[in-house]
């Protein structure tokens, strides 16, 4: 699985080599990663409220 962060875009690429365990691990960890990135982003407060 490839994980690429490009500005405001997060891209996950899956292939036939990814196991169910790998995907479940990513899905378990991803919400915390996204929350942390939002905390670090100076633009997030404006985006969250639609400004």
What's the rounded Cα separation, in Å, for the pair 47 and 37?
Answer: 13
Average pLDDT over residues 7-27: 85
Q: Which residue would you say has higher pLDDT here, 9 or 22?
A: 22
The SS3 call for residue 3 is: strand
The pTM (predicted TM-score) of the whole model is 0.60
For the chain, give the number of residues. 51
What's the rounded Cα separation, in Å, for the pair 20 and 26?
Answer: 10
What's the rounded Cα separation, in Å, for the pair 1 and 51?
Answer: 34
Q: So what's the pLDDT on residue 25?
A: 92
Asked whether the predicted pLDDT for residue 5 surpasses 60, the reply is: no
Q: So what's the pLDDT on residue 19?
A: 93
Q: So what's the pLDDT on residue 4?
A: 52
**Alpha helices (runs of H) in 2-49, residue ranges in sequence order:** 20-40, 44-48
Q: Which residue would you say has higher pLDDT here, 29 or 8?
A: 29
């Amino acid at each position: 699985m490839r994980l690429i962060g490009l500005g405001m875009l997060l891209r996950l690429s899956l292939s036939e080599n990814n196991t169910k365990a790998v995907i479940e691990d990513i899905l378990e960890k991803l919400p915390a990663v996204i929350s942390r990135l939002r905390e670090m982003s100076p633009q997030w407060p404006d985006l969250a409220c639609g400004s």
